[in-house]
Amino acid sequence: MQTRKIGSLGVSVVGLGCNNFGWRIDADASAKVIDAAIESGITFLDTADRYGKGESEDFLGRALGSRRDQIILATKFGMEMEKGQQGASPKYIREAIEASLRRLKTDRIDLYQLHQPDPKTPIADTLGALDQLVRAGKVREIGCSNFSVAQIREAAGVAGTGGAHFVSVQNEFSLFHREPEKNGVLAEC
Q: Is 51 a catalytic residue?
A: yes
Q: Give the whole-angstrom CA distance, residue 107 versus residue 149.
A: 33
User: Facing residues of 144 across strands?
Assistant: 114, 169
Q: Give the whole-angstrom CA distance, residue 126 versus residue 91.
A: 10
Burial of 19 (0-12, 13-18, 19+ CB in 10 A): middle
Q: Pick the catalytic residue: 21, 51, 59, 77? A: 51
Residues with a catalytic annotation lie at 51
